[in-house]
Amino acid sequence: MAHELRDVAPGLWIWRVDYADWVPGEGWDRTLTSTCVETGGEVILLDPLAPADQGSEFWARLSARPPTLIVILKPDHVRDLDFFARRYQAQAFGPAVFNRDDVPETELEVIEPGSNLPGGLVALYDGRGRNETPLWLPEQRTIVFADALTAPEGVLRVWTTPWHEQRVLPALRALLELPFERVIVSHGEPVHDRAAYQRALELPPWTY
């Protein structure tokens, strides 16, 4: 079921769902966050997970404003892409390469850092080498991440990689040039302000 629907800013809301294929001990909680943004005449779902309760407020909200686009930020976040794409006949965007068990049936338009998407969204570079593209939402002054940052204990942290000092921190610091006010992450507490993002760049990376 959808545990929570939260309005974050005008035209920006999130929902949280328990992931059916969750496995304990992988460093993240079962409950994951997905994002919906309305901008530039588009209704866009980012890394969407479908709640099972078809009569819920979530489905009523999507019926009132059906999505026109779906964007997958990271290869292993395909999840319910095919379901949403079929249900709403929505155009889909995402990575060029997927894990063997995650290849979607839906045809995607490829995005990479620097790609401009309908609605004015811009794909960013996170330096992590995981084929992930965070998205900049200019109208809402928000960056949405897949797994580059996480907050499983409520504190925003950068998810560890072997290239943390050499590539990741420089790339994430470069994003401070954008006038964002908040970030949204998939794992843990989902919404954090700019100050929390700056602190995360100074903290030890999250590992488990």
Q: Is the pLDDT of residue 97 over 60?
A: yes
Burial 41-56 (b: 16+ CB within 10 A, else e): ebbbbbbbbbbeeeee
pLDDT digits (tens, 9 = 90+) for 113-143: 999 999 999 999 999 987 899 999 999 999 9
Q: Is the pLDDT of residue 1 over 60?
A: no
Q: Is 205 inside a domain boundary?
A: no
Q: Is 176 inside a domain boundary?
A: yes
- In whole angstroms, give the CA distance from residue 184 to residue 138: 14
Q: Is the pLDDT of residue 25 over 80?
A: no
If one compares 139 and 53, the residue with the highest pLDDT of the two is 139
Q: Is 137 inside a domain boundary?
A: yes
Helix, strand, coil percentages (3-state) for the chain, rounded to 5, are 20, 30, 50
Q: Is 183 inside a domain boundary?
A: yes
Q: Is 74 inside a domain boundary?
A: yes
pLDDT at 2: 57
- In whole angstroms, give the CA distance from residue 170 to residue 33: 26
Q: Is 42 inside a domain boundary?
A: yes
pLDDT at 102: 84
What tokens were used for 205?
A: 């990376």
Q: Tell me the CA end-to-end span of the chain in Å, nearest whole number.
A: 27
Q: What are phi and psi of 84, to 5 degrees?
A: -65, -40
Model confidence at 18, in pLDDT bands (50, 70, 90)?
confident
Domain around 27: 2-200
pLDDT at 22: 61
Residue with tokens 């790339």: 171
- In sequence order, which residues have a C-beta less than 8 Å from that of residue 201 and are 6 or more positions away? 158, 169, 172, 173
Q: Is the pLDDT of residue 54 over 80?
A: no
Q: For the domain that residue 45 is a member of, what is the CATH number?
A: 3.60.15.10
**How many domains does the chain divide into?**
1
Q: Is the pLDDT of residue 89 over 90?
A: yes
What tokens were used for 106?
A: 């839906």
Q: Is the pLDDT of residue 189 over 90?
A: yes
**What's the chain's average pLDDT?**
92
- In whole angstroms, give the CA distance from residue 189 to residue 31: 10
Q: Is the pLDDT of residue 170 over 80?
A: yes
Strands (E), the chain: 2-9, 12-18, 31-39, 42-46, 69-71, 91-94, 109-110, 122-123, 135-137, 142-144, 149-150, 157-158, 182-184, 191-193
Q: Is the pLDDT of residue 76 over 90?
A: no
Mean pLDDT of 183-195: 96
Q: Name the residue type at position 76.
A: D
- Residue % of the chain over a pLDDT of 90: 78
